[in-house]
Every structure is written in C-alpha cells, then in structure tokens.
Amino acid sequence: MLARWLYSVVFYLAIPVVLYRLHKRGKQNPAYRERKAERFGFYTQEPVEKSVWIHTVSVGELIAAQPLIEQMIAEHENNPVVITTMTPTGSDQVRAIFGDRVLHVYLPYDLPDAMNRFLDTFNPIISVVMETELWPNMIHYTSRRNIPVIVANARLSEKSAVGYGKVGLLVRPMLREISVIAAQAAPDGERFVELGLPPASLKVTGTVKFDLTVDDKLKNTAADLRACWGKSRPVLIAASTHEGEDIQVLDGFRLIQRQIENALLVIVPRHPERFESVAELIEQQGWKLARHSDPDSLSDDMNVVLGDTMGELLRMLGASDVAFIGGSLEPIGGHNMLEALAVGTPAITGPHVFNFQVVADLLAELGVLSTVTTSIGLGEAALSLLQDQQARADLAEKGLKVVADNRGAMARLLFIIRSYF
C-alpha cells in the first residue's frame, strides 16, 4: 500500500512533464492535443449503469481483440462495450472497425482520482486488459469495487520480468488483485507467478492472434484492391514500418526492381503521424509515389504505394504476394506476422521479434517464416519468392494450416470471461 501511495505521489508530481510530452507529440500529430480531459477521467459521456470494459494499448492488441469484442457486443446487447486505448491511432482504429457499436474513450492516467472518475462514469461489470498493460491504480481501484480483472493474451518477456522485479513492492500487491492472467505460453505464466501472482490465478490459454478471422468480404475487397494495383504486377508489402526501416525497405526493393521492372512496393507505416515524412522519403529516393488515400494517384508507372489510411492493413496484406513485417529490422520487437499468414501471404521478418518470440519461433520451426538481417537480405528473400509462384503457393498453404491448427485460444479465453457473468 505504501509503495502504491508513493507511486501515486510521484505520478502527480510528474504531471507537468507528462503534459509537456503530450504537447510535444501534438506537434507531430495534433490529435494528441485533443480530448485531454479524458486523460484525467473527465468525459462528455453520460454515466452508464453497466458496461463491459476492454482495454487495448496498441493497434495490434485491438486487432487481436476484435473477435472477443465482437462476441461481447453480441452477448451483451443491454450493456455497452467500452474500449479504452492510449493513443489517437488506437482511437482511429476503434472507430474504423467498430463505428458506433462501442463506446471509446482514452484510459485516464494512472491516478487515483482519475481512475475513480472513469469507473464512476462507466461502471464496468468486468475488466479485460489485453496483453500486459498493468497499471497499479487501475487494477487496485477496479478490484476494490469487486470488478473482476482479467489480463488476456498475457505475455511477459524475461527482460520485462526483470524490470517488474525491481519494483516488487509495487508489483506483488497488484498481481494479487488480478482475478485471472490468461497467459500466451507457460514461460510467460511462470514469470508472473515468480513475481507474485497466486498460482490459482494463472491460466495458460495460448495466443488469440491465431484466431484471426478472414471472411469472404475481406477476400473480395483484397482482390479488388489488387486489380487497382495491377493483377500482373508482383507486389511486396512492408507492413507496420518504423522510422529507420523505410529506407532499408526501399534499398531492398531497388534490388528487386533490377530483376523485375514492374514490381510494386506498398509501404504501410505503423503510425499515421509518419505518413508525410515517409512520402517525402519515397520521392526523395526517386520513386514514383501513389497514395492509397488518393485513388486518382494510382498509375501504370507508379513504383511505390503509400498505405496512408487506417484499418485496411489486412486487406492490403491479402492483395500482396510477399509481406515484410516491420518493427523487426529496428529493435522495436516486431509486429503480428500471423496477419499475413492468415490471408495466405508469405511473411519475412527482421531479427528483432521479441514481442512475438514464441510465435516467431514456432513459425520458423515449421518453415513458414523467413528472417533477414539487412536490406540486401530482405531484397534477396523477397525477390526469390516473387520469382517463384509455386514456392509462394506452398508457403501460403502451409501458413494457413499453421494458423488453423493453432486456433482455440479465443474459445478458452471466452470460457474464462463468461464464468464471471
């Protein structure tokens, strides 16, 4: 209790710094300067009697949670589903996927009064936190109201476990207030228990990212998009790129174009605030640029398409021949390579996949994920696949089978959640 009190005091004292950083980020993305009141628990939303609360910190977690959210919407018609995120990108994605079928607000800063205002407004009957977004006051004040707290699809790397261990006086009481941690894998669960989670509160359910659903509508819209790009053009997509990766992708693509003149590159930056800077980089490098947001810019002589919209990555992956999954040539930790496999697109990744290590190791072991370390390696690996239609077809078939064989985590997670209603 003392540790959490000290943590709260430090957080209050740090508010000027937090607001300065928020203002600074607003220079790149003006949306960070909007809805500031929500970050302190003040909402325009009228209080609701009961709600189902799901927190996703990032776009990737939101996409992984989509089947869960859809199920909660269907099962709780009389109670709104409230989705909280931390960033404007997450907010935009919620709107793009769910529209007005859910309520969306920013999660307030982890301050006692802010968190209590949030709970007073939305009165959740359950809290589902995706992956490892653990905030001491959020968990404490939610648990204190006898609201079950479930950490879903939880993962904890060795490095993160060491970090949490350094603040054990804060972490141990927090873990004891969590109802269930549904871990992706046994090693993740063991690390939580070592940090103080009661063993009875641990369930190993697997990763819900295998439970991604690809329907006929998505397949059809992907086919339509491919027709716009050019059915006969070999397409490499670089999905969820981060700063420092775009130039490496362009360098690798230059190698490809020497062998396949009509090859097309699609670059989809992870964060929308980078759209303009990536567009400038593409043109500075001498490429003919088209923007996905501007269909009139598509032309026969375009070399690179910038994926500058939200909520369409899966469609773009389905329209491509080979996918590079970003956040992995730079030490970001990687992004979800299962999205590519689920739409039948062979995947390539860089070496930095520590956020998806268990999945990446499994995919590599089964021969459906290639790893490269340089721009040249990326170009060579992608070129080899773009020139070999049978190899792509074989990888697509194997990838789809791996995804299908490992489904089931969502069903196990839903069983746990339903036990609290």
Which residues are identified as catalytic?
Answer: 61
Instruction: Report the distance separating Cα 235 and Cα 125, nearest Å.
Output: 46
Residue linked to tokens 């404007």: 88
- Give yes or no for a contact between 121 and 64, defined as CB atoms under 8 angstroms apart: no
Amino acid at 72: M
Residues 6+ apart with CB under 8 A from 200: none
Residues 6+ apart with CB under 8 A from 383: 255, 256, 259, 260
Q: Which two tokens stand for residue 128?
A: 């589902």
Instruction: Report the distance separating Cα 362 and Cα 351, nearest Å.
Output: 14
378 closest CA partner among 267, 284, 251, 270: 251
List alpha helices for 207-353, DSSP H: 216-229, 246-259, 275-284, 313-318, 338-342
Instruction: Report the distance separating Cα 270 and Cα 110, nearest Å.
Output: 26
Instruction: Report the distance separating Cα 318 and Cα 316, nearest Å.
Output: 5
Q: Are strands 202-204 and 180-183 parallel, antiparallel or unpaired?
A: parallel
